[in-house]
Amino acid sequence: MGVRFFRRGKTRAFWVPTISNVAAPTAAEIAAGTELTSGISDISGFSTGQDFIGVPDLSSEVTATVPGEVTMDDSSLKIYFDSATNPLRTTLAPGTIGNVVFIDYKPSGSIVATDKVDVYPAQVGSTPKERDMGSTAAQWTAMIAITAKPREDVAVV
């Protein structure tokens, strides 16, 4: 059994505008994206579910099930404002289409062939600003729609 880990400091996130094959992203495609890691204060969603369909038949009193549609949780990235410029608000502008890519266990360095990543084809929805008077840093949220079946633990080529 491997060593358990604390996700902060070990997982990185990227916005990658173009990936030709989400089942086999290239290191160059990911390098052409924007790393989001240091701007993210919270992550929500980015997980899939599976509905099951009952398939009763007259020969049994048990209703068996078969896998049905794959569902995606509502997803979002909470991001810090920058006091001078906000390039991530441009990168993640509403309507922008691309891919959210996560890599675990690689806190730094270039993404290379054989690294394992999770790829979520996505479109940015709204980007509401958060306003409060508490002792918190200024933040906004990128609401992310998952637009196709994500690929998890795929090897970079």
Domains (ranges, CATH) in the chain? Answer: 12-155 (2.30.110)
Question: Under a CB-based contact definition with an 8 Å cutoff, are residues 13 and 77 in contact?
Answer: yes
Mean pLDDT of 24-37: 97
Alpha helix (H) residue ranges in the chain: 27-31, 87-91
pTM: 0.88
- SS3 assignment, position 87: helix
pLDDT at 75 over 80: yes
pLDDT at 25 over 90: yes
Q: What are the structure tokens assigned to 11, written together?
A: 């997982």
